[in-house]
Chain A
Amino acid sequence: MSYKIYEINEDLLDVMPQEIRDLQFKATWGNPKRGVMDLPYSKELIEEHSLCAGCPESMALRYILASLPNPEDTIIVNSTGCTSLVFPHIALHTVHSLFGNQNAVASGIKRVLEWRFPDKVKDVVVLAGDGATVDIGLDCTLQSFFRQEKITTICFDNEVYANTGGQESGLTMKGHVFKMAPKGKQWDKVPMWQLAIDSGCHYVARLTVSSPKRVETVIKKAIYVAREVGPTYVHLYTPCILEIGLNSDDGLDEMRQRDKERFAFFEYVSEPAKEVIERKKEEGLL
């Protein structure tokens, strides 16, 4: 990789906004031990974004970007939705293609990068909402697990199609009234974390983003395991405070509450994944 990718053209340096300059001068690169503890002192690859004030998804993005062990060689593939509003503000190679095909696009990218650069570590991370991951894109998501693609899939579960104005999704709870479910949703929330295990993921975690340090550990484990073993899946609760009628400062409390119920921390580690995680711990990277 070339760090030059992340450098601003010298001739434009003086006219660039401080936000962008910070991405170059205060971001952390080349250090696999980087993490959320660097957040107060550094700029974590994301500038101002256009998500709603207090949106837990923006917290999630900041923690994830701070936790990437290898940002200089990480490609992020995303999908249409609230997350795609953020990607223009991230200082990484990102790809937005269509709605729901993110795991298929990521499969192509990962396989070709592995073939073109057999001696380099290139991490491919998929980052999309519940609609893209579990509804329209479920086929592509699960099939990438079946094929054992070495990619990390992160689902931002806000239990709703938020960006299109609040329609129920496969991850909405049963009975919840949302647009397009005017009588309340008729069936249960899809247990995506279980489907991921059954479909061949080697590391699966379900959690909220109320604890930054825990997000960091989970993301690092997921990426290290994907790099060496096979697909990994992280399910994060990032409530859409707008659609469930909460104030901007209520997101954290909402997540802390759900920590104790349907988003209680859950982790699955396959045998080959355990070996990788233990080794990374010994190396001081986890």
Chain B
Amino acid sequence: MQTSTERVIYNRAGQRVVSPDYLLFEAPRTKHFMTGSEAVKEAVKRASVDASVSYPITPQSEAAHLIGELWVEGYVGVYFRGESEFGVMSEVAGCALAGARTITTTSGPGTLRAFENFPMWAGTRIPVQLVLMARGVNAPLSIQPDNLEVGFLLDTGCMIWYAENAQDLFDMILAGFVVAEQPSVHVPVVTVVDGFFVSHTREAVMLPPDDIALPPYNPYKAPMPVIDAEVPPGRFLRDPFVMKSNYISYATHASWQWEVRSAIERSRPFAKHYLRGLIEEFGDPSAELVFVACGTAAAQSKEAVRLLEEEGIKARVIKLKTIRPFPIEELRQAVKGAKYIFVPEFNVVGWLEREVRRYLYAYSDAEVIGAPRVAGGMTMPAEVIVKEVLKLTGKEVKHVI
């Protein structure tokens, strides 16, 4: 809290600048009823955002419209619609290279059209925030929710965070800037939320007042010089030129790739602090039946735990808040004593199951079951999750219609 003797600082929009800890943890909050898209607007409004570029694609379009409204209201400095997702992610790169706190949003096929940009973002160490409202990828044409594209994004060098609901999304967007911009981290952050299920549904969200905001981005603290011709060193190429075929250039390129990935690792303590841990646990800690999930799959798993209780089966949920960095130690610790690990997912390939298996290999004796898995826009009723469990135990399936 700022006292009367302190100098009060305001950002360009006239909001009082407060510390991230104050904004995220201490400021009084009031309850609002809103969609996930509106929660994006509320977060951006309090984030001292400098620039945003948008492109329409369902289901993220509404969030992008609302950022445009914030630009009109003076909360965002630069805003326009680009020519395609590829163009937008390039324009966003330009904004960030020129020293702006930058955010954009996309969904499903747009993510893939823009794809070449994501490793470039990470390689140029720009802390852009991409809010990904996950959706199916064609073909056949679909606008329905799915999260297959997250599997593609995992190894681009960007941090990947996963929000369960509108509240998570609001808090993660604010925390995302803070963590991504740490000088020791300074890589992009992709904040994922399941499209439609969160973007288009209304729920209660606790919001701090809107006349306070995060401290503005200081591009001169970045580990790479900002491209504004204001500060040395200047005589350099932002993209280290390592195309020549010699040992030093191979080594330079390789070490840079490692450095980007190390930067994600260095985000752990910051993410742990601002997200209040990389995982969240729900249910009976002694239960041998465990769901490992992220996003709305975690929400549905929590419902399944309640239904299973009626069946006399104890279960618990480990919700992963970050996928990159993956909460390796947290997960290993949390599954101690587990006999069965279910990984419910909203995609056909089961990328989260692969991740869970990879990190639990030789650390857990539990059986990992990649189910249930829905795709193509289907919801995942808690009963479907329960059914999978009951199939395993040989019990009668009562809850499923």
Contact = CB atoms under 8 A, between A and B. Distances in A.
Interface string A145-183: 001000000000000000000000000000000000000
Given A96-B239, A104-B91, A117 B120 contact: no
A187 B239 CA distance: 36
Nearest to B238: A95
Given A72-B229, A113-B228, A107 B91 contact: yes
B91 A108 contact: yes
B94 A107 contact: yes
A105 interface: yes
Nearest to B237: A88
B334 interface: no
A132 B57 CA distance: 26
Contact of A109 (B77, B80, B86, B95): B95
Nearest to B235: A91
A94 B230 contact: no
Contacts of B233: 5
Interface in A5-31: 5-8, 23
B91 A116 contact: no
Given A1-B229, A2-B230, A23-B235, A101 B51 contact: no
B239 A109 contact: no
B99 interface: yes
A108 B51 contact: yes
B159 interface: no
B84 interface: yes
Contacts, number: 142
Nearest to B119: A98
Given A107-B91, A107-B94, A111-B78, A75 B124 contact: no
Contacts of A135: none
**B contacts with A: majority SS:** loop
B178 to A, nearest CB: 20
B191 to A, nearest CB: 20
Given A5-B231, A95-B239, A122-B229, A116 B99 contact: yes
Interface of B: 50-51, 53, 77-78, 80, 82-84, 86-88, 90-100, 116-117, 120, 124, 227-235, 237-239, 241, 243
Contacts of A95: 94, 97, 227, 238-239
Given A5-B229, A108-B92, A109-B97, A93 B239 contact: no
Nearest to B92: A108
A243 interface: no
Contacts of B90: 97-98, 101, 104-105, 108, 140
B98 A109 contact: yes
B87 A143 contact: yes
Interface string A75-118: 10100000011011001111111100100111111111101110
Contacts of B78: 111-112, 115
Given A95-B97, A97-B93, A97-B239, 7 more contacts: A73-B229, A91-B235, A93-B238, A104-B91, A111-B94, A112-B95, A140-B86
Contacts of B92: 108
27 contacts: A2-B231, A5-B231, A5-B235, A6-B234, A23-B235, A72-B229, A73-B229, A88-B241, A93-B234, A94-B238, A96-B241, A97-B94, A98-B90, A101-B90, A106-B94, A108-B90, A109-B98, A111-B95, A112-B51, A112-B98, A112-B100, A113-B98, A116-B98, A116-B99, A139-B84, A139-B87, A140-B83
Interface in A44-98: 72-75, 77, 84-85, 87-88, 91-98
Q: Pick the 7 closest A-B CB pairs, nearest first.
A: A108-B94, A5-B234, A104-B90, A101-B90, A143-B83, A112-B98, A108-B95
A52 B90 CA distance: 30
A87 B241 contact: yes
Q: Which of A93, A101, A115 has the most B CB atoms < 10 Å from its CB?
A: A93
Contacts of B238: 93-96
Q: Which of B86, B90, B94, B124 has the most CB of A within 10 A?
A: B94
A96 B124 CA distance: 10
Contact of B94 (A104, A115, A116): A104
A87 B236 CA distance: 9
A85 B241 CA distance: 8
Interface in A210-228: none
A75 B95 contact: no
A260 interface: no
Contacts of A96: 237-239, 241
Contacts of A74: 229
Contact of B93 (A75, A105, A110, A113): A105
B181 to A, nearest CB: 16
A149 B96 CA distance: 17
Contacts of A75: 98, 227-229
Interface centre among A72, A88, A105 (most CB of B within 10 A): A105
Contacts of B83: 104, 139-140, 143
Given A87-B241, A95-B239, A140-B83, A108 B97 contact: yes
